Amino acid sequence: MPPMPSPRPLERVAGAHDAAVLAIARRGEPVSRAELAEALAVTPQAISKILARLMERGLMAEAGTLVLGPGKPTTLYRVVPTSRRAIGLHLTRRRLHGVVVDLTGEIIERREQEIGAPPPIPELIPALAAQARELAAQGPGELLGVGLGMPGPVDWPAGVYRGTSTPDPWRGAPIRALLAAELGLPVLLDHDSRAALVGEAWSQPDLLRNAALLLVEDGLGAALSLEGTTVRGAHFQAGEVGHTVVRMDGAACTCGRRGCAQAEYHAALAAGDEAAAARVLATVVLDLVRTVDVDRVILGGRTVYAQHETSMDAIRTALHEGFAAEPWVHVEVMLSTRGTDLIAVGAACQVLEHEYGLPQALVGPG
Amino acid sequence: MPPMPSPRPLERVAGAHDAAVLAIARRGEPVSRAELAEALAVTPQAISKILARLMERGLMAEAGTLVLGPGKPTTLYRVVPTSRRAIGLHLTRRRLHGVVVDLTGEIIERREQEIGAPPPIPELIPALAAQARELAAQGPGELLGVGLGMPGPVDWPAGVYRGTSTPDPWRGAPIRALLAAELGLPVLLDHDSRAALVGEAWSQPDLLRNAALLLVEDGLGAALSLEGTTVRGAHFQAGEVGHTVVRMDGAACTCGRRGCAQAEYHAALAAGDEAAAARVLATVVLDLVRTVDVDRVILGGRTVYAQHETSMDAIRTALHEGFAAEPWVHVEVMLSTRGTDLIAVGAACQVLEHEYGLPQALVGPG
DNA sequence: GACGTATCGCAACAGCGTTGCATTACTCTG
DNA sequence: CAGAGTAATGCAACGCTGTTGCGATACGTC
């Protein structure tokens, strides 16, 4: 996306408040001015002005009244899901999966498409654009843009896919710019696991202040939400836990080193030892929780769906044992609410987040 | 500290800008209005008002002029280090170490005191208070409060030391409230490693947007600064990497599990194999960098000082090899600038940070 | 139907940064 | 050594934010 003129300080206040109201309303239940005033620590009168702005933009609407006792009934407000749309694409080496979602992140329509071998960029971009255009034809609401999630490292500000060490036809391709030019729409390119976490967080904003999402697809990836912000990292690859060492001098990994979580996981699966594989996952999660101290862990990815009971049990047991001496630590382990659409939905939600999410900085050209 | 009335939204803007200016000025070199306007993305005129507020409070002062070419010379501004003071205490089972620092985090005076065995709380609190009072007598400037850093888990909002599983006379003690009552000063209680990182970040604000500090004292601890905020975690124990598993089924740990980093580290040291110990440290750092993607790692703690060359070399080598396939990843490994005062200074800086740091929340009763 | 109550809206206000323009203090030119 | 050019600064009016005070509205209760 082109760099915008940085908003004026007072616009940032207004924007932050608008985003906060939207975040609360997104949970689904109609809200009253009083609740919002409480949550934002402003006067009800300020909420009136904030809601006026949001209704002006069509993002929110009145939703009836509620009589609680004597006095004038409370007016309730809700988001207007159909007011905006975003497209999310999930690209892997084998598949192209896309969705359109409404403002609340609910799926309007989905597309799935197998791609034989990774096509070269000049073929890939039109294929992505074609699916995006099909999806763009669906549903009402202003179309905000396209989010694209893919595995592997990404140069986020540049929108360039960095690629892996193996021969990779997409390596170094400025995918974001190419797709944006092709479609004439804003495009956001990010990591698959980060997209997935943003997607989960979009529909349950305050639950995931400190959460980790573990994505088990071909590789092992994670994303972190800490103190309310989804961490991107200095090199835009925070959460790449696949090559974290869980057994020094252990199984050889494709990366040339030994005992990487990913290598141990696949070695165990190859040996048919599902329990051992689950134990590796559990160790990764335990280390993750110890390191960043999240209170929620979300499991996602095609590979875990098959044996999610085993994995979740192993993880819960490991957490229980590992924190036995620290009874104040409670970690909720849950399965992604989005199934196999997880990453595509997340990619779409990144667009929503970009437009209507809480800004992270109150100061500077953020 | 008592809950303050949450600042009005516009005061939050002013406060954030004041803090941002202070953060830039803290780097040491005098700054001009133009630089500040650039950094904060506001007009020079706004900087005039911000500086007027800061000079009113005695936090900043003019620092001469600079002639660059034709036109009126630029007026320069700097912080007034002597305008404020904070006390920092570092409490371990064996030692009580304290400092007073000025507004820039420079040490005015230090005290160190051995304590035979961990005294019971009714003796501990007066001992802490006595050292704090001695330190409070030193140096000019308004005394803001006392920071206390200690190893082991802490219930941060409650100011309660949670203690370890071993018999622990301090377990569950509301140390913050007790000390605050004794001294009649605000007290902040936090983790030793987090304090250390806050201390490092206070004197080099923008360098440590994504950084990890590894503290090797009796145990192994870390603290994380991600996207500019020092992570506290859902249970206020983020960075507790000591019991992270680096060798599944490895050396037995005091925690009852196997292959914890701390256990492997001490096992290697006990066997006299410093190289192996350094490799364990290196693995911890590598996993940390993979997981949270920091671009700076700071080493601190009494134990590393003895053999910091070996440790740093092992870490640098491991990072170099581990990220060989990702040439865009550069991680700076450095030694703490504070020596053994690291944690005491950090605890003091937490008070400064609390008062004059950038607010993390834009909205709500933050 | 009058009263108490809670919500809501209008209008005036304070404080933030912005804008436009005058002032100041320097260098450079002739 | 004036006078022009230049860049930083200050003053005043302004727009926008949320706040405050008060009146209007709509409900339940007596």
What was the pLDDT predicted at A4? 42
State yes or no: pLDDT of A362 exceeds 80. Answer: no
State yes or no: pLDDT of A265 exceeds 50. Answer: yes
**Segment B210-242, tens digit of pLDDT:** 999 999 988 899 999 999 999 999 999 999 999
State both tokens at B13.
């803007």
Strand C reaches within 7 A of the B45 CB: yes
Q: How many CB atoms lie within 10 A of CB A361?
A: 17
Inter-helix orientation angle B33-40/B44-56, to 10°: 110
Q: Per-residue pLDDT averaged across B283-290, rounded?
A: 96
Residue A259 distance to chain B (closest CA, Å): 8
What was the pLDDT predicted at B7? 67
Residue located via tokens 């862990």: A297
One of 3.30.420.40, 3.40.50.720, 3.30.70.1290, 3.40.1190.20 is the CATH number of B206-338, namely 3.30.420.40
Nucleotide nearest to A71 (CA to C1'): C6
What was the pLDDT predicted at A359? 85
Residue nearest to nucleotide D8 (CA to C1'): B72
Across chain A, mean pLDDT equals 92
Enumerate the domain spans of chain B. Answer: 9-79, 84-196+343-356, 206-338
Tell whether B137 lies on the interface with A, counting CB pairs under 8 A. no
Tell me, which fold does domain A83-196+343-356 have in CATH?
Nucleotidyltransferase; domain 5 (3.30.420)
State yes or no: pLDDT of B366 exceeds 70. Answer: no
**Segment B4-56, tens digit of pLDDT:** 445 678 888 999 999 999 999 999 899 999 999 999 999 999 999 999 999 99
Chain A residue numbers with beta carbons less than 8 Å from the beta carbon of B247 are 246-250, 259
What was the pLDDT predicted at B66? 87
What was the pLDDT predicted at B2? 34
State yes or no: pLDDT of A86 exceeds 70. Answer: yes
Q: How far apart are CA A142 and CA A186, in angstroms?
A: 13
Please state the length of chain A: 366
Instruction: Characterise A4 by phi-psi region: left (phi > 0), alpha (psi -120 to 50), beta (else).
Output: beta
Looking at domain A208-338, its CATH class is alpha beta
**Segment B248-286, tens digit of pLDDT:** 999 999 888 899 999 999 999 999 998 999 999 999 999
Tell whether A11 lies on the interface with B, counting CB pairs under 8 A. no
From the list A248, A359, A364, the residue facing B39 with the nearest CB is A364
What was the pLDDT predicted at B134? 97
Q: How far apart are CA A277 and CA A274, in angstroms?
A: 5
Tell whether B280 lies on the interface with A, counting CB pairs under 8 A. yes
Distances from the Cα of A42 to the Cα of A35, A51, B8, B186, B365, angstroms: 10, 13, 8, 27, 9
Could you say which nucleotides of strand D lie within 7 A of any protein CB atom? 5-12, 15-21, 24-29
Put simply, the answer to whether A239 touches B326 (Cβ < 8 Å) is no
State yes or no: pLDDT of A225 exceeds 60. Answer: yes
Tell whether A18 lies on the interface with B, counting CB pairs under 8 A. no
Q: Per-residue pLDDT averaged across B174-178, rounded?
A: 97
State both tokens at B227.
């996207």
State both tokens at A339.
């199934």
What was the pLDDT predicted at B313? 92
Q: Per-residue pLDDT averaged across A65-88, rounded?
A: 93
In chain A, the percentage of residues whose pLDDT exceeds 70 is 97
Q: How far apart are CA A59 and CA A18, in angstroms?
A: 10
Between A360 and B183, whose confidence is greater? B183
State both tokens at A267.
């070695």
- From residues 70-89 of B, which are strand D contacts by CB within 7 A? 70-75
What was the pLDDT predicted at B294? 98
CATH number belonging to domain B84-196+343-356? 3.30.420.40
Strand D reaches within 7 A of the B365 CB: no
* DSSP class of B245: B
Give the model's confidence band at A1: pLDDT under 50 very low, under 70 low, under 90 confident, else very high. Answer: very low
Strand C reaches within 7 A of the B9 CB: no
CA angle, B344 then B283 then A154, to 5°: 100
Q: Per-residue pLDDT averaged across A146-158, rounded?
A: 95
**Segment A283-312, tens digit of pLDDT:** 999 999 999 999 999 999 988 777 778 889
What was the pLDDT predicted at B365? 63
In chain B, the percentage of residues whose pLDDT exceeds 90 is 80
Chain A residue numbers with beta carbons less than 8 Å from the beta carbon of B238 are 226, 291-293
Across chain B, mean pLDDT equals 92
Residue type, B325: A
Same CATH topology for A9-79 and A208-338: the answer is no
Give the model's confidence band at B63: pLDDT under 50 very low, under 70 low, under 90 confident, else very high. Answer: very high
One of 3.30.300.30, 1.10.10.10, 3.40.50.10490, 3.40.50.300 is the CATH number of B9-79, namely 1.10.10.10
Helix/strand number for chain B, H first, E second: 11, 15
**Segment B313-335, tens digit of pLDDT:** 999 999 999 999 899 999 999 99
From the list A42, A224, A362, the residue facing B292 with the nearest CB is A224
